[in-house]
Structure 1
Amino acid sequence: MLILLVEDDERIGSFVIRGLEEEGHIVRWHKTGADGLSALLEEEFDVAIVDIMLPEMDGLELVRRVRSRDVQTPILILSARGAVADRVRGLEAGADDYLPKPFALVELRARLAALSRRAARSASPVVLRYDDLTLDLVSRRAQRGETVIELQPKEFSLLEYLLRNPERVVSKTMILAHVWDYYFDPQTNVVDVLVHRLRKKIDHGFDHPLIHTVRGVGYVLRR
Structure 2
Amino acid sequence: MRLLVVEDDARAARMLVSDMADLGHDTVVASDGRAALLQATDEPFDAILLDVMLPHVDGIGVARALRDRGVLVPIVMLTALGDLDQRLIGLDAGADDYLVKPAAPVEIEARIKAILRRSARTNDHGVMRAGDIEVNEIKHRVVRAGRVLSLPKLEFQMLCELIRNKNSVVTRQMFYKTVWDYDFEPATNIVESYIRRVRAQLCAAGESDPIATIRGVGYMIVDHG
Q: State the alpha-carbon separation in 1 of the partners of residues 28 and 10 from structure 2.
A: 14
Q: CA deviation at 1:104?
A: 1.7
3-state secondary structure, aligned to 2:78: strand
Q: State the alpha-carbon separation in 2 of the partners of residues 33 and 104 from structure 1.
A: 24
Letter in 1 for 2:66: V
Q: CA deviation at 1:92?
A: 0.3
1:124 to 1:15, Cα distance in 2 relative to 1, 3 A: farther
Partner of 2:87: 87
1:18 to 1:69, Cα distance in 2 relative to 1, 3 A: same
The count of residues paired between Structure 1 and Structure 2 equals 126
Partner of 1:98: 98
3-state secondary structure, aligned to 1:48: strand
1:124 to 1:27, Cα distance in 2 relative to 1, 3 A: farther
Q: CA deviation at 1:115?
A: 1.9
Q: CA deviation at 1:10?
A: 1.6
Task: Kindly indicate whether the alpha-carbon contact (under 8 Å) linking 1:47 and 1:115 is maintained by their aligned counterparts in 2.
Answer: no
Task: Kindly indicate whether the alpha-carbon contact (under 8 Å) linking 1:74 and 1:119 is maintained by their aligned counterparts in 2.
Answer: no
Q: State the alpha-carbon separation in 2 of the partners of residues 14 and 122 from structure 1.
A: 35
Letter in 1 for 2:19: G
1:46 to 1:12, Cα distance in 2 relative to 1, 3 A: same
Partner of 2:108: 108
Q: How does 1:113-152 map to 2 (within 5 A)?
A: 113-122=113-122
Q: State the alpha-carbon separation in 2 of the partners of residues 61 and 19 from structure 1.
A: 26
1:120 to 1:2, Cα distance in 2 relative to 1, 3 A: farther
1:123 to 1:26, Cα distance in 2 relative to 1, 3 A: farther
Q: State the alpha-carbon separation in 1 of the partners of residues 123 and 35 from structure 2.
A: 28
TM-score, structure 2 as length reference: 0.53
Q: State the alpha-carbon separation in 1 of the partners of residues 70 and 32 from structure 2.
A: 21
Q: CA deviation at 1:123?
A: 6.0
Q: State the alpha-carbon separation in 2 of the partners of residues 70 and 110 from structure 1.
A: 25
Query: Mind listing any 5+ residue stretches in structure 2 that lack a counterpart?
Result: 126-180, 182-225
Partner of 2:21: 21
Partner of 1:218: none
Percent of residue pairs bearing the same amino acid type: 41
Q: State the alpha-carbon separation in 2 of the partners of residues 8 and 45 from structure 1.
A: 19
Partner of 2:55: 55
Q: CA deviation at 1:47?
A: 0.6
Partner of 1:70: 70
**Which segment is superposed worse, 102-111 or 113-122?**
113-122
Q: State the alpha-carbon separation in 2 of the partners of residues 26 and 56 from structure 1.
A: 25
Q: State the alpha-carbon separation in 2 of the partners of residues 80 and 47 from structure 1.
A: 20
Q: State the alpha-carbon separation in 1 of the partners of residues 15 and 53 from structure 2.
A: 18
Q: CA deviation at 1:110?
A: 1.2
Q: CA deviation at 1:38?
A: 0.5
Task: Kindly indicate whether the alpha-carbon contact (under 8 Å) linking 1:8 and 1:54 is maintained by their aligned counterparts in 2.
Answer: yes
Query: Mind listing any 5+ residue stretches in structure 1 that lack a counterpart?
Result: 126-180, 182-223
Answer yes or no: is 1:4 the counterpart of 2:12: no
Letter in 1 for 2:12: I
Q: CA deviation at 1:52?
A: 0.3
Q: CA deviation at 1:31?
A: 0.4
TM-score, structure 1 as length reference: 0.53
